[in-house]
Amino acid sequence: MPKQRCLILGGCGFIGSHLADSLLNSGYDVRLFDKQNVDTRNIEHILPQIELHRGDFTNTADITAAVENVTYVVHLVGTTLPSRSNDNPRYDLESNVGGTLSLLDAAVEAGVHKVIFSSSGGTVYGVSERIPIPESAPTQPLCAYGISKLAIEKYLALYHHLHGLDYTCLRIANPYGERQNPLAAQGAAAVFLGRVQRGEPIHIWGDGQVTRDYIYVADVIRAFDQALHSSASEHVFNVGSGQGVSLNQLLQVIEDVTGITPDVRYQAGRKLDVPVSVLDISQMRQTFDWIPQVDLAAGIARTWRWIQETYPN
């Protein structure tokens, strides 16, 4: 029996590269798709073992070629960030939602068995009256990024209804860990650690009480593995730690792990920042027997070691 092939869109990135490692270990043929000028450092160690397709996510021909002879598709591509998506909602819609519709058309034509979509547990709900937030909570995103993620979830449900295309949406909280770019604009844990290592100030929007749900990358990958290997009647799952951590508490953990007191600069809050976002993960636990295994202190320590090794002063 030939190996099953899995395509990871955005496969050279933080989560995609870890997932590629896991799928190779599970015996899959792995094909990665990423942009033309993508940095391949995260996948250098597996380049001889995978296919790498470079192209434009919004180019139908590129996506059609990428899904050929594929059993599973993991959709990790995002063309915007939450903090910037409100600057140009039309671009967010056309690139993310429009690109995904082309992907789904190509997947149906190619006979893809299942699509796993990386949605956003941190943005699709908006301000929730229920904490922790279950999947059944109202969705009122405060940024275009969250709106596009939610729209893609709905289109996946439509294509399942119209064409029988199976799918799972993982509403991921705030993932962190090795290979998360400490020089990027997103990913508080890695960005803060990178600034500590370089002796640079950390800028906080608001008073530091904004509370989020941080989930270590290895636990995220286990959730993807479960979604690929199992079938379930439910299609949307929260993936988080189920624990709320404020930015000030995160900074304290970073100080405890590194032994360095961060230089923190507070500034005015932003309208797009939901005060508290903590996910109810009971559906993942009940359906897949999945629970997070790495606590925040241990995950931050692993991430800190990686940053020191990869970005030496």
List residues bridging with 216 in a β-sheet. 176
List residues bridging with 267 in a β-sheet. 205
Structure tokens at 165: 């295309």
Structure confidence at residue 2 (pLDDT): 62
Structure confidence at residue 196 (pLDDT): 97
Is residue 201, in this structure, part of any structural domain at all?
A: yes
Q: What does the radius of gyration of the chain's CA atoms come to, in whole angstroms?
A: 19
Return the number of other C-beta atoms located less than 10 Å from residue 8's C-beta.
28
Is residue 287, in this structure, part of any structural domain at all?
A: no
Burial letters 231-243, b for 16+ CB under 10 A, else e:
eeeebbbbbbbbb
**Residue 59 and residue 194 in one domain:** no
**Residue 157 and residue 227 in one domain:** yes
Is residue 153, in this structure, part of any structural domain at all?
A: yes
Structure tokens at 112: 């893809």
For residue 301, which phi and psi values (nearest 5 degrees)?
-65, -40
Q: Could you tell me which residues come within 8 angstroms of residue 295 by beta carbon, excluding any fewer than 6 positions away?
A: none
- Specify the DSSP class assigned to residue 302: H
**Residue 189 and residue 170 in one domain:** no
- Specify the DSSP class assigned to residue 80: S
Structure confidence at residue 274 (pLDDT): 87
Is residue 46, in this structure, part of any structural domain at all?
A: yes
**Residue 230 and residue 191 in one domain:** no
Is residue 100, in this structure, part of any structural domain at all?
A: yes
**In this structure, are residues 6 and 72 in contact, taking their beta carbons and an 8 Å threshold?**
yes
CB-based burial label for 157 (10 Å; 0-12, 13-18, 19+): middle
195-215 confidence digits (pLDDT tens): 999 999 999 999 999 999 999
Structure confidence at residue 230 (pLDDT): 82
- Specify the DSSP class assigned to residue 151: H
Q: Which one, of 49, 48, 39, lies nearest residue 12 by Cα?
A: 39
Is residue 165, in this structure, part of any structural domain at all?
A: yes
Burial letters 135-151, b for 16+ CB under 10 A, else e:
bebebebbbbbbbbbbb
**What range defines the domain where residue 249 resides?**
176-213+242-281+293-310
**Residue 10 and residue 157 in one domain:** yes
Listed in sequence order, the DSSP H helices in 4-93 are 14-25, 60-67, 82-85, 89-92
Total domains in the chain come to 2
Q: Could you tell me which residues come within 8 angstroms of residue 96 by beta carbon, excluding any fewer than 6 positions away?
A: 77, 78, 79, 80, 148, 149, 152
CB-based burial label for 90 (10 Å; 0-12, 13-18, 19+): exposed
**In this structure, are residues 208 and 247 in contact, taking their beta carbons and an 8 Å threshold?**
yes
Structure confidence at residue 124 (pLDDT): 96
Q: What is the pTM of this model?
A: 0.96
**Residue 268 and residue 230 in one domain:** no
**Residue 115 and residue 201 in one domain:** no
**Residue 98 and residue 194 in one domain:** no
Structure confidence at residue 39 (pLDDT): 95
At 235, which CATH number?
Answer: 3.40.50.720
C-alpha torsion angle, residues 246, 132, 180, 14 (rounded to 10): -170
**Residue 146 and residue 248 in one domain:** no
**Residue 196 and residue 181 in one domain:** yes
Return the number of other C-beta atoms located less than 10 Å from residue 312's C-beta.
7
Is residue 286, in this structure, part of any structural domain at all?
A: no
**Residue 188 and residue 232 in one domain:** no
CA distance 118 to 83: 18
Is residue 288, in this structure, part of any structural domain at all?
A: no
- Amino acid identity, position 250: L
132-172 confidence digits (pLDDT tens): 999 999 999 999 999 999 999 999 999 999 999 999 999 99
Structure tokens at 198: 């370089």
At 260, which CATH number?
Answer: 3.90.25.10
- Specify the DSSP class assigned to residue 133: B
Q: What is the pLDDT along the chain (313 residues), one digit of tens a residue?
A: 467 999 999 999 999 999 999 999 999 999 999 999 999 999 999 999 999 999 999 999 999 999 999 999 999 999 888 878 889 999 999 999 999 999 999 999 999 999 999 999 999 999 999 999 999 999 999 999 999 999 999 999 999 999 999 999 999 999 999 999 999 888 999 999 999 999 999 999 999 999 999 999 999 999 999 999 888 889 999 999 999 999 999 999 999 999 999 999 999 988 878 899 999 999 999 999 999 999 999 999 999 999 999 988 7
**Residue 162 and residue 45 in one domain:** yes
Structure confidence at residue 92 (pLDDT): 92
Structure confidence at residue 80 (pLDDT): 86
Residue positions annotated with a catalytic role: 145
